[in-house]
Amino acid sequence: MIDKIVPSIAAAVADIHDGATVMIGGFGTAGMPAELIDALIARGARDLTIVNNNAGNGETGLAALLKARRVRKIICSFPRQTDSQVFDALYRAGDIELELVPQGNLAERIRAAGAGIGAFFSPTGFGTLLAEGKETRVINGRNYVLEYPIHADFALIKAERGDRWGNLVYRKTARNFGPIMAAAAKCAIAQVQAVVPLGDLDPEVIVTPGIFVQRVVPIVSFAASAVPQAAA
Amino acid sequence: MIDKIVPSIAAAVADIHDGATVMIGGFGTAGMPAELIDALIARGARDLTIVNNNAGNGETGLAALLKARRVRKIICSFPRQTDSQVFDALYRAGDIELELVPQGNLAERIRAAGAGIGAFFSPTGFGTLLAEGKETRVINGRNYVLEYPIHADFALIKAERGDRWGNLVYRKTARNFGPIMAAAAKCAIAQVQAVVPLGDLDPEVIVTPGIFVQRVVPIVSFAASAVPQAAA
Amino acid sequence: MQRFTRDQMAARVARDIPEGAYVNLGIGLPTIVANHLPRDREVFLHSENGLLGMGPAPAKGEEDPDLINAGKQPVTLLTGGAYFHHADSFAMMRGGHLDYCVLGAFQVSATGDLANWHTGGKDAIPAVGGAMDLAIGAKNVFVMMEHQTKSGESKIVAACSYPVTGLACVNRIYTDLAVIDVTPAGLVAVDMAQGLDFAELARITGVPLTNGIASAIAA
Amino acid sequence: MQRFTRDQMAARVARDIPEGAYVNLGIGLPTIVANHLPRDREVFLHSENGLLGMGPAPAKGEEDPDLINAGKQPVTLLTGGAYFHHADSFAMMRGGHLDYCVLGAFQVSATGDLANWHTGGKDAIPAVGGAMDLAIGAKNVFVMMEHQTKSGESKIVAACSYPVTGLACVNRIYTDLAVIDVTPAGLVAVDMAQGLDFAELARITGVPLTNGIASAIAA
């Protein structure tokens, strides 16, 4: 019997190695797998390349991972925020490398990795600083920039419910990068609010089929469990 | 108030013009919008380019459209079937043009059209007859073929339920090409088993958001209404 | 001269968005446009973090940390709205499915180049988010901005001095002084603040500007 | 000599598919493999028309025209299975997420080129379906075929004479005579039919073949 449920969050991240590329789901704090990030900090892996939309908020979660100086490079679209002081300080000190990617290119490059695409001509960024040095092409009169997939060793994502086959559903806008990061990583680790018995998730409604998920860890986060689970 | 529900199936296809590129959903007969195809035949538009996985089964649906000699060219992955006699005869007589596309390239090219991708390097077909004359590239030691999006003027698809904003859900493997064809066409027309009030479709569960759908036509097909609507 | 207030600018943008339009409102000034869309006009607001049919801010105490907009503020979902993942969300933007986006800007060039993501300052930490995707993806790109910088320079320029977000992508500019279309024939003013003289508007703007204001044409 | 029956071939393939594997079984002969997977071994069957967790054929009268496999035959969905659209389904295949696919073939070359979609005949109407995607996408590509054509020629060849489906993509070949691995060092027989002599197998195969059969190694 296949059971992807990992009872301990520490065990779920135990093989994340120094130098790994780790995708972390979430848009700001919505969908951010806070407990998995804390476990990654405890695990102690260094020289990480992190892929996330942002570069940490406040002092917890991804910001805490940065603060612990475990991150060599971050690939993101929107590092600068009102509460991105941890990243800002590291960046100004030259202590972290930044690959800034337009958000749509970030999403599509992650999706391309999961879908086996070798590269794609993107309409976004042509003629801008963020396309400097990149191959371009005119197709049907329109300008495109060649973009490559972003693969990862691990993805840490947050979902609402999961089963032992790794099937996942998400909650509202916390879905964001979860499904595409799961598919782009060799090992996708999902923290879920609840583990449900196989068959509880309607096959029409499963957002991430288990083929993309290697480990599922149940977490009860007080913030999220305080709100009703039904859609608005 | 926005209401994408079109009460008459004839009205739904009334502007499909001679020479149009029309995507038709379905994998064999699962998800094939039979009533919309019949309406297209009645409409009489000629010189059509059809995009479908197959090239018609038996004598009805797409096969009937072919038999009525309305199709100049078909883009598909699997024309030859035990019951593809209509296509076979036209093809052997040189009366229809065939662009044969590996099924994954077909799906990804349709998806690329909806997603604004200019072209992409596909891992499929390298070194085969179906990549002859196409640009190729080695990326990270792997061979790829450059493939271009397939855009359409219209998409005719079949869904299970839809609302007046054009939101759709599908039924089992009848989903197949519906969601990506809706996004790839300038005008997506969905026949549905049932129109439901706005809000009946759970926002977590909508497969095709209304932004991709221009018209929704309610149809009661006896074959499908005879089976229970819940997932297996 | 009576400059347009921010609410007047937003109301003017809202007037130009027809029923049934799919619209993305950028962070900042454009957000106010939502307040000016008539309640009986169904307009579909898209938020790039995976939301279509975005509703107004929730009542105090009803905020849900999992239901936010691209500015990371709590929002609601209208009946009939839908959630989706990031690649699907940006497919809507990049695939040309949005009818309108409304963006703030540092500068817009006479040919519609947009600069709104980066001051280019040596010390500035760049952040781009979805700005470049919106700039090239929406069928109509509207910019809302003050006509001039604080030091009085025109933000409508011959060529952007700030790093661009997209080339030749802006269709219409709404400022506190005027509404200006970017056309193949150049910039055309279609509306301006009361008491403002077209010659004065052209002087302030500092790049070639045609008078296409209905009253001017009629006169 | 006792040739492997189709069921024996399928059983042999099934034995090589471990629990937890994601597997696509091609149309025709490979379909039989499903009958030989032990019921207590959880193997996830994928069907390219948008189905993961495919179950056996339904009981007579329980067929659902909306629940079919890639061969367009009625199937069922196991508890825990899921539906998805075609681009997502092929992302699973092309993105390397399937552990195994099992395909029929006209020919396999000594370097693992696969020919299974088109005879190349002038009158033949070509049809490719998902064959090329499976050939390049799965981590392990298994081929099941008769060892020889009806006229007695080896279907394992130095170079495919039929149009290829994919280059250097086959990992293992299951025939009615043998199980042969495609390795960087060439073809290696790892099993053969009872009563068959390796020299005879090599002669029938007609391309260089190494004897890697456990009993032979032990001997």
Chains C and A touch (3+ CB pairs under 8 A): yes
Touching pair D, B by Cβ (3+ pairs < 8 Å): yes
> Which candidate from A118, A123, A231 shows the least CB-CB separation from B118?
A123
pLDDT on residue B227: 42
**Residue C1: predicted pLDDT:** 86
Rounded average pLDDT per 10-residue block, chain A, 232 residues: 95 98 96 97 98 96 97 97 94 97 98 98 98 98 98 98 98 98 98 98 98 94 44 36
Contact A207, A188 (CB under 8 A): no
A197 touches chain D (CB under 8 A): no
Going by C-alpha positions, the residue among B205, B186, B191 that lies closest to residue B162 is B191
* pLDDT of C127 above 70: yes
Could you give the CA distance from residue B217 to residue B197 in angstroms, rounded to a whole number? Answer: 14
Summary mean pLDDT of chain B: 94
Spatial distance between the Cα atoms of D5 and B169, rounded to a whole number of angstroms: 44
The full DSSP string for chain C is --PPPHHHHHHHHHHTS-TT-EEEEPSSGGGGHHHHS-TTS--EEEETTTEEEEE-PPPTT---TTSB-TTS-B-EEEEEEEE--HHHHHHHHHTT--SEEEE--SEEETT--EE-S----TTPPP--TTHHHHHHHSSEEEEE--SB-TTS-BSEESS-SSPPSBSS---EEE-SSEEEEEETTEEEEEEE-TT--HHHHHHHH-S-EEE--HHHHH-
pLDDT digits (tens, 9 = 90+) for B129-186: 999 999 999 999 999 999 999 999 999 999 999 999 999 999 999 999 999 999 999 9
Q: Which residue of B has its CA nearest to A171?
A: B204
Residue B223, pLDDT above cutoff 50: no
* Contact flag A211-D22 (C-beta cutoff 8 Å): yes
pLDDT in tens, B93-145: 999 999 999 999 999 999 999 999 999 999 999 999 999 999 999 999 999 99
Q: Chain A residues with CB inside 8 Å of D93's CB?
A: 116
Identify the residue with better confidence: D122 or D199.
D199
Catalytic residue, chosen from D48, D62, D63, D153, is D48
Neighbours of chain D (3+ CB pairs under 8 A): A, B
D163/B108 CB distance under 8 A: no
Residue of B nearest to D87 (CA): B107
| Cα of B152 to nearest chain C Cα, Å | 13
Distance CA A171, CA A31 (A): 8
Across the interface, of B116, B122, B170, the residue whose CB is closest to A117 is B122
CA dihedral B163, B164, B167, B172 (to 10 degrees): 30
Count other C-beta atoms under 10 Å from residue D90's C-beta: 27
φ/ψ of B193, rounded to 5, equals: -70, -30
**How would DSSP label each residue in A105-142?**
HHHHHHHHHHHT--EEEESTTTTSGGGTT--EEEETTE
Side chain identity at residue C159, one-letter code: A
| b/e burial code for range B123-155 (CB count within 10 A of at least 16 → b) | bbbbbbebbeeeeeeeeeeebbbbbbbbbbbbb
Alpha-carbon gap, residue B105 to B128, rounded angstroms = 13
Backbone Cα Rg of chain D: 18
Reported as a single tens digit per residue, the pLDDT across C103-115 is 999 999 999 999 9
Residues 39..58 of C with a Cβ closer than 8 Å to B: which? Answer: 40, 42, 44, 46, 52-53
CA-nearest residue to A207 within chain D is D84
Distance CA A22, CA A40 (A): 10
Chain B residues close to C93, C-beta within 8 Å: 116
CA dihedral B211, B214, B219, B223 (to 10 degrees): -60
pLDDT computed for residue D218 by the predictor = 52
Under a CB-based contact definition with an 8 Å cutoff, are residues B58 and B83 in contact?
Answer: yes
pLDDT at position A78, please?
A: 96
Q: Which two tokens stand for residue A46?
A: 């260094």
Q: Of B103, B40, B31, B29, which is closest to residue B70 (Cα–Cα)?
A: B40
Beta strands in D139-211 (DSSP E): 140-144, 156-157, 172-174, 178-183, 186-192, 209-211
In the block, which residue shows the tokens 């696969």?
Answer: D114
ipTM: 0.96
DSSP assignment letter at D148? B
Helices marked H in A175-227: 178-184, 222-225
Beta-carbon contacts of residue D122 (< 8 Å; ≥ 6 apart): none
User: For residue D174, is pLDDT > 50?
Assistant: yes
B212 touches chain C (CB under 8 A): yes
Would you state the pLDDT for residue C124? 86
Q: Which of C82, C90, C93 sits opposite B209 (nearest CB)?
A: C82
**Closest residue of chain A to D21, computed from CA coordinates:** A211
Count of other CB atoms within 10 angstroms of residue C79: 14
d(CA C173, CA C141): 9
- As a whole number of Å, the end-to-end CA separation of chain A is 36
- Out of B107, B171, B207, whose CB is closest to D86? B107
Q: Taking the CA atoms of chain B, what radius of gyration do you get in angstroms? A: 18
Q: Which A residues, 145 through 174, put their C-beta within 8 Å of a C-beta on chain D?
A: 163-165, 167
- Residue A143 forms beta bridges with which residues? A138
- Report chain C residues whose CB lies below 8 A from the CB of B165: 44, 53, 80
Q: How many CB atoms lie within 10 A of CB B19?
A: 11
Q: Does C127 contact A78 at a Cβ distance shorter than 8 Å?
A: yes
For the stretch C87-101, pLDDT in tens is 999 999 999 999 999
Q: Does C85 touch chain A (CB under 8 A)?
A: yes
Nearest chain A Cα distance for residue C96, angstroms? 11
Per DSSP bridges, beta strands A215-218 and A185-195 are: parallel
Question: Would you state the pLDDT for residue D121?
Answer: 85
Using the Cβ of A28 and the Cβ atoms of chain C, whether some distance falls under 8 Å is answered with yes
Q: Is C106 on the interface with B (CB under 8 A)?
A: no
- Given C42, C48, C153, C200, which residue is catalytic? C48
Q: Which among B52, B78, B77, C219 has a CA at the least distance from the CA of B66?
A: B52
- Does D83 contact B at CB distance below 8 Å? yes
Establish if D131 touches chain A: CB-CB under 8 angstroms: no
Query: Quick check: do A and B touch, 3+ CB pairs under 8 A?
Result: yes
Q: Directed axis angle between helix A103-115 and helix C86-94, to 10°?
A: 120
- Per-residue pLDDT tens for D93-141? 999 999 999 999 999 999 999 999 998 888 889 999 999 999 999 999 9
Q: Is the pLDDT of residue C180 over 70?
A: yes
CB A118 within 8 A of CB B137: yes
As given in the structure block, the two tokens for residue C99 are 């009818």
Query: How far apart are alpha carbons D33 and D36 in whole angstroms?
Result: 5
Within 8 A by CB and 6+ apart from A133, the residues are none
Q: Which two tokens stand for residue A81?
A: 């925020």
| Biggest CA pair distance of chain A | 54
**Which among D50, D94, D118 has the least Cβ separation from residue B173?**
D50
Average pLDDT rounded to a whole number, residues C187-208: 97
Question: Count of CB atoms within 10 A of residue B211's CB?
Answer: 25
Cβ pair C94:B206 closer than 8 A: no
Q: Residue C131 has which token pair? A: 């700005």
Locate the chain B residue with the closest alpha carbon to C20.
B2
- Joined tokens for residue B90: 């036209």
Cβ atoms of residues A176 and A143 within 8 Å: no
| pLDDT at residue C120 in the model | 83
Res. B230: pLDDT tops 70? no
| Residue A52, both tokens | 């996330």
Q: Look up residue C172 and give its amino acid.
A: R
Residue D217: its pLDDT value, please? 58
CA distances from A110 to A24, A32, A177 (A): 12, 17, 9
Three-state DSSP state, D83: strand
Known active-site residue D48: yes
The nearest CA of chain B is from the CA of D151 a distance in Å of 25
